[in-house]
Amino acid sequence: MKPMEPIRRFRVIQAAMAVVLVVMTGSAAAQTPAAAAKAAIEPEAMASLKAMSAYLRTLKTFQVEAAVIDEDVLEDGQKVQYTGVTNFLAQMPNRLRVDISNERRDRLYLYDGKEFTMFAKRLNYYATIPAPPTIAQLADTMEEDYGYSVPLVDLFRWGSASWTPDDITAATDFGPSDIEGTTCQHYLFRQADIDWQLWIQKGDYPLPRKLVITTKTDEARPQHTVVYTWNLAPSFNDRAFVFDPPEGAGKVLLGGVNPFSGMGK
């Protein structure tokens, strides 16, 4: 699931927003800004988003395979796409394993409730720091102290008891859809700087199945796309979250490493 991140021009942030505009009239009955914002938000779309958030909070262990497409924007304005796969294993509230493999980097992230380790496999370097006691706090520490997001951080933002949709300025239900054979409902959400499209699985398991984030602060409007495949009963043991440095691995300081560039191969 504050999900999605990785390109230099934008990061996945905590709320989802929609593509709907309110037409204001100039009559005496014209809407105030507050009324216009309220009219742009469809209650059904917000109710589904809140129901998904509540369901994610019930998950104690889960595994997600995410097919990710990121767009970068070159200096001449041309866009370049990068594809990859992120495998994600979580045991709430304090165990996390993330494997990232794409055209630009091959990384392993491990969190065991006490330490967080980032391992750049291709260069055989790793960095380890003391970590706070929960995944949610870890996500905050990574953003505030090191300037980057935990992969797929949206799943934890949405699933956090402190998450609120207050930044949403528009929300709409775009109708039924199908994501890799799973029946979903397609929603559009909007915030000041980004637009989100979110596909939520219909039925008793309202899981996010696809997410598209469009950055509006760049005129090229680069996108970050994720398709999620869920396993709600994964098999693992505690060693899955503990880092065992391979032979010859070098240790570096995390504060001197940008996980999305440089050593990130």
Which domains can be identified in the chain, with CATH numbers? 33-256 (2.50.20.10)
Who has greater pLDDT, 31 or 196? 196
| Overall average pLDDT of the 166-190 stretch | 96
Q: What is the pLDDT of residue 161?
A: 67
* Chain mean position to CA 258: 18
- For the stretch 133-177, pLDDT in tens is 998 888 888 888 888 777 777 777 776 666 778 889 999 999 999
CA triple 119-122-128, angle to 5 deg? 15
Two tokens, residue 70: 């990121």
pLDDT of residue 15: 33
Are 253 and 262 contacting, i.e. CB atoms less than 8 angstroms apart?
no
Check whether 185 has a pLDDT greater than 80.
yes
* Residue 89 confidence (pLDDT): 96
pLDDT > 90: percent of the chain? 63
**What is the Cα 130 distance to its own chain's centre?**
23
Spatial separation of the C-alpha atoms in residues 194 and 119, rounded to whole Å: 31
Q: Which residues contact 52 (CB under 8 A, 6 or more apart)?
A: 158, 200, 206, 207, 208
Q: Is 145 helix (H, G, I), strand (E, B) or coil?
A: helix
How does pLDDT run across 92-117, given as a tens digit for each residue?
999 999 999 988 889 999 999 999 99
Report the candidate in 161, 191, 151, 174 with the shortest Cα–Cα distance to residue 16: 191
pLDDT of residue 174: 95
Q: Specify the pLDDT at position 39.
A: 55
Global pTM value: 0.79
Q: Which helix (H) or strand (E) holds 238?
A: none
Of 59, 56, 138, nearest to 96 by C-alpha is 138
The single-letter code of the amino acid at 62 is F
Tell me what the pLDDT averaged over the chain comes to: 82
Encoded amino acid at 103, one letter? E
Q: What pLDDT does residue 47 have?
A: 95
Q: What is the pLDDT of residues 212-263, one digit of tens each?
A: 999 999 999 999 999 999 999 999 999 999 999 999 999 998 864 444 343 3
